[in-house]
Amino acid sequence: MSPAGAPAGGGSRLILRKLREIMAAGGAAQARLDALVRMIAAAMVADVCSIYLKRGDVHELFATEGLKPEAVHRTRLKAGEGLVGLVGETARPLNLADAPVHPRFSYRPETGEDPYNAFLGVPIVRSERVFGVLVVQNRVAKLYGDDEVEALQTVAMVLAEMVAAGGFGDLSGLADVEIRPSRPERLQGRAFSDGLAIGTVVLHEPHAPLGRMIADDPVREEKRLEEALQHIRADLQAMIDGDPGRLSGVSRDVLETFALLAQDRSWEGRLRDGVRAGLSAEAAVERARQEHRAKMQGARDPYLRERLHDLEDLDNRLLRALGKAEKLGAQPMPDDAILVARDLGPAELLEYAPGRLRGLALEEGGQSSHAAIVARALGIPMVGRIQSLVSRVEPGDRIVVDAERAEVQLRPGVDIVRAYDQRIALRSARAQEFARLRDQPAETRDGRPVSLLLNAGLTLDVQHLGETGAAGVGLFRTEFQFMVSETLPRLEAQTRLYRDVLEQAGDKPVTFRTLDLGGDKVLPYMVAEREENPALGWRALRIGLDRPALLRYQLRALIAAAEGRGLRVMFPLVTTVEEFDAAAALVQREMAWARKQGAQGPARLEIGVMLEAPALAFAIDALKGKAAFVSIGTNDLMQYFFAADRNNPRVGDRYDLLSVPALRFLREVRTACAAAGLPLSICGEAAGRPLEAMTLVALGFDRLSMPASGIGPVKRMIRSLDAAHCARALEPLLQSTKNSLRTELSAYATANGVAL
Ligand code: PEP
Ligand code: MG
């Protein structure tokens, strides 16, 4: 029971109604803040009610009922100072029976607050940004009840939204309270998809619509909430029931947990309490979402974090259901949208109109995250791992995504925009130059042809074949389809994808790499055992051989898709020849199965290996007559060669492929493959960088597979290179005792007119 004797819902409803009256009455901001604290103190039977707002780094007393009026605008608490500072810092409510004994209590004589013991402070938060603290105090030493804490939090939330919506029109004139971030900021992250873009922020998880925080009719509001809840539950159930064959056991578990959470009485109860207390349904969900986020930020336990993440996802679904079940991406999109989110789930990015999306900025994400895979396929820049990004932007802000420097610029000033306009123009001029090279042969000045191939993983990528003039797909990463879908792709879905890819490629060859999961590539719907060293653990072909059903299914799909045409398959992370034999036997078994079904099968079949584990480099002779080709995955090969995690920025730049040991090693592999008569290619990212590609060509490599963005620059380099001359220059360098040859090789390129 609240001190006023009314139940919580009734108490906050009364406060919310009065709050609305005060706002509607108009008048100066200060007068309305004064009226507000008087009203809250009376409604909550508190001796004191104060509003502190954040001005720069200090919390300043803006209005009070109960403390000395002369303290208003004089009492200022530095960041983290006093109990108010503590609430601001933690963004959590603080409820104390005897505040003066708390170690963080800071006594300010000008306020006359000595007689007060009970203290309840709640943050005034919006979009995860604390811009003030609302406090009530009482003389008697007592803890405030849960309903009182809740009532004050609700008022603080509504207050935050009203201030942000301009409800206190002249407030920002009154003080430089940063309700909406307005200053330019530069935030560092990590680059996951190359490029530069300037555009307008679109928030993936928009705030609850402003202006409708308080409900006119709680009964109607509860009905809206009820309908939206039913809607999302039915949706989830339909996903589970829809197609039993579609879900693997594991993904079904995930969805069922989700559906179970959607039935969670305490979640639903919180939402109902919200609308009964006078909030609109959206505001009630927003409140729940804020609570889940706040808890998630404090939660260490990964299981709990995951649950809270699921709950937040449900909150978002519910918000969308309330907004007339708008689909993702159905919100109005500016032509130069830059999507900002904490993280994006499987397939979510694909739901946005690709034509309007210029870039992507995330708080989370990783090199192998779904978002990064799709961003690279769409050719849009992405910067991820940007701390507190979402709380520092508002929809409509200008933003620069700079994946060259792994940073974003928020609300950039004119000078910065001008500099970026120039850099973007330069990039587009280069892109035009590369486009002109599209139909020119990739041949060195001394007449050596080099086959330039594309790395791909989604059908979206295959369009780059035509755009770049690449000779084929040298590496099709089949796991991407698995990583961007919500559930395990069925046989038909796999077959369809491979068929589409082959059709789009026309007469250009495509090399499909079988599933390369594990390590840093995890599926949301497959619970993997936690391993101490995932990169050295149960991954790639190792999973395929231990769980042959998954691999056989995939081979079946590939064989069906390649009916009547050539099929090239290769296996990732083959470490021993026996592994290759076992995998090749599975292909033959599936070929026999297809024939038994009456299919004619692929016209040609070539089975190759990826050389990623150094051990295989010393067994190449044993692959003679067995494998049809070898492809070096330098990303993994170098990580194992140098014992340096490819995704760990601390060690990522420590070792260089352009070093004597690595280049000697690659040369040995080339010699061994030539001796065994095995065609050899390189398909790691290094092949797409002009200086590395120059060196590889000089070492005798003539098939390079790379991301689409590498084809133009590498072709330009090749057409300016005398390969034999470069090979002669490289020879003595390989005898040197220097580690990285980067400087020497760059100098060679400059001196010999090689275009890098
Ligand atoms: C590699 O390891 O170089 C490679 C091409 O495979 P992935 O990057 O997909 O591991
Ligand atoms: Mg690899």
- With a 6 A CB cut-off, is 695 part of the ligand 1 pocket? no
- Amino acid in position 87: V
Whether 309 is a known active-site residue: answer: no
* Residues 632 and 455 sit within 8 Å (Cβ to Cβ): no
Arithmetic mean of pLDDT over the chain: 87
- Residue 105 clears pLDDT 80, i.e. is over it: yes
Least confident of 130-144, 213-227, 628-642: 213-227
Edge-to-edge strand list for the sheet holding 76-77: 76-77, 58-65, 48-55, 129-138, 118-126, 94-96
> Quick one: which of 601, 512, 598, 591 has its CA closest to 563?
601
For the CA of 683, the closest atom of ligand 1 is 5
- With a 6 A CB cut-off, is 634 part of the ligand 1 pocket? yes
- Residue 283 clears pLDDT 80, i.e. is over it: yes
Average pLDDT of span 409-422:
96
Specify the higher pLDDT residue, 530 or 346.
Answer: 530
Confidence of residue 26 (pLDDT cuts 50, 70, 90): confident
Q: What whole-number percentage of the chain has pLDDT above 70?
A: 89
Specify the higher pLDDT residue, 7 or 386.
Answer: 386
Whether 725 is a known active-site residue: answer: no
Average pLDDT of span 100-121:
89
- Amino acid in position 330: A
Average pLDDT of span 231-249:
63
Supply the residue whose CA is at minimum distance from atom 6 of ligand 1: 633
Q: What is the pLDDT of residue 206?
A: 63
Supply the residue whose CA is at minimum distance from atom 4 of ligand 1: 633
- With a 6 A CB cut-off, is 127 part of the ligand 1 pocket? no
- With a 6 A CB cut-off, is 408 part of the ligand 1 pocket? no
Q: Measured in angstroms, how far is the CA atom of residue 635 from the centroid of ligand 2?
A: 6
Q: What is the pLDDT of residue 174?
A: 52
Supply the residue whose CA is at minimum distance from atom 3 of ligand 1: 633
Supply the residue whose CA is at minimum distance from atom 1 of ligand 1: 633
- With a 6 A CB cut-off, is 367 part of the ligand 1 pocket? no
Least confident of 106-115, 130-139, 346-355, 537-546: 346-355
Please return the burial class of 480, using the count of CB atoms within 10 Å of its CB with bins 0-12, 13-18 and 19+: buried
For the CA of 634, the closest atom of ligand 1 is 3
- With a 6 A CB cut-off, is 706 part of the ligand 1 pocket? no
Instruction: Report the alpha-carbon distance of residue 353 to residue 57 in Å, rounded.
Output: 40
446-476 residue pLDDT tens: 999 999 999 999 888 898 999 999 999 999 9
Domains assigned to the chain: 8-164 (3.30.450.40), 185-206+331-427 (3.50.30.10), 210-327 (1.10.274.10), 437-751 (3.20.20.60)
Cα angle: 283, vertex 289, 290; to 5 degrees: 90
For the CA of 635, the closest atom of ligand 1 is 3
